[in-house]
Amino acid sequence: MVLLNRLERERSLSEAEYRTLIDSACPSLAEAAAEKARRVRHEHYGHTVFVRGLIEVSNICKNDCYYCGIRKSNAACERYRLDAEDILACCEEGYTLGFRTFVMQGGEDGFFTDERLCELVRRIKARFPDCAVTLSMGERSEESYRRLFEAGADRYLLRHETAESEHYARLHPPELTLTNRMRCLADLRRIGFQTGCGFMVGSPFQTTAALAKDLKFIEQFQPDMCGIGPFIPHKDTPFAAFAAGTLEMTCFLLSLVRLICPTVLLPSTTALGTIDPNGREKGILAGANVVMPNLSPLSVRKKYMLYDGKIATGDESAQSLAQLKQRMASIGYEITVDRGDVKKG
Ligand code: 5AD
């Protein structure tokens, strides 16, 4: 409680103190953290929830991350790629529904060269000038990120996954390194993107020390956005037999991140909604202020399976925005039609 109070006041703890705080997690401490996190969130964003239309543009990926259902070695994964017309149609539908941010997320698919991706960004921005475009397309060169920014992309999401390099090496094949991940994030920030990092909760081999490093990294990097969701095993990956992360720990960490970065755009993730039917509401009540409903065509949604059980019924979808609005209203929050840019104080 002493540490939590200090975190609230100073927005900073030592790595050892973060470790102690995480190790002391219990329902009463989590509720105290959530209360503080909500207070901070209300100060900056009131009771509004920003929505992002998520378009899963491709599940083709050259990487082989051990946790991920669309890793290249998963032969059971049926691959697809949306074309520009499909993607623009998703945006069109999303715009009508009230979305003012489109997030294009995909595997590291070589088809999306700078030329193609820049052209796509330009077309979306020309057609929807009042909307923000967020990219979540993995690791690229600095030059590539610069071209995408110049084409009009506003934001970039690239979770760091874990801030501990030994842990990073147990989640990824050797060609993927924490150093390069961090290089990407630094490039994105310097270029001018609203930049998002983030990590999975309860990923295999994760220790409290690793989570403490995640929090310290977030404190130092001061991301504009931060994606935090539970690890959920996928049956066709090397991590099939591991347990999922818990709702409680995910919500506790959401609250801590809100206290560390008061104005951060913090989604209550689809994964949280997957492990608990009221997960998304619980994330909002822990201090999150963003939800990202799926705008991908129904036909491909089942194929973008990062983890087992990922909701793809239509229930999670942007089309049932009305239901989402109701769910948020039931806990006292309101979805707004807004780009939802980060507040810089
Ligand atoms: N469980 C939870 N999250 C996952 N991701 C990938 N695989 C899984 C999984 N099995 C997350 C990663 C990635 C984001 C797009 O999805 O953190 O950055």
pLDDT band at 105 (very low <50, low <70, confident <90, very high): very high
Pocket of ligand 1 (CB under 6 A): 67-68, 159, 161, 200, 229, 231-232, 234, 271, 306-307
- Comparing CA positions, the residue from 287, 203, 294, 194 lying closest to residue 245 is 203
Pair 114, 147: CB distance under 8 Å: yes
The pLDDT tens digits of the residues spanning 113-148 come to 999 999 999 999 999 999 999 999 999 999 999 999
Look at residue 317 in the predicted model and tell me its pLDDT: 64
Residue 341 lies in a domain: no
Q: Would residue 344 count as lying in a domain?
A: no
Model pLDDT for residues 17-60, shown as the tens digit of each residue:
999 999 999 999 999 999 999 999 999 999 999 999 999 999 99
Choose one of 306, 310, 311 to mutate for the ligand 1 pocket test, by most ligand atoms within 8 angstroms of C-beta: 306
What residues make up the domain containing 289?
2-336
Instruction: With respect to residue 18, please indicate whether it lies within any of the assigned structural domains.
Output: yes
3-state secondary structure (DSSP) of residue 217? helix
Q: What does the angle CA 137 – CA 142 – CA 145 come to, to the nearest 5 degrees?
A: 45
* 174 belongs to a structural domain: yes
- pLDDT, mean of residues 280-286: 98
**Residue 59 sits in a domain of what CATH number?**
3.20.20.70
Note whether residue 81 is domain-resident.
Answer: yes
| Residue 155, H or E segment | strand 155-157
Atom of ligand 1 nearest to the CA of 68: 7
> What's the domain count of the chain?
1
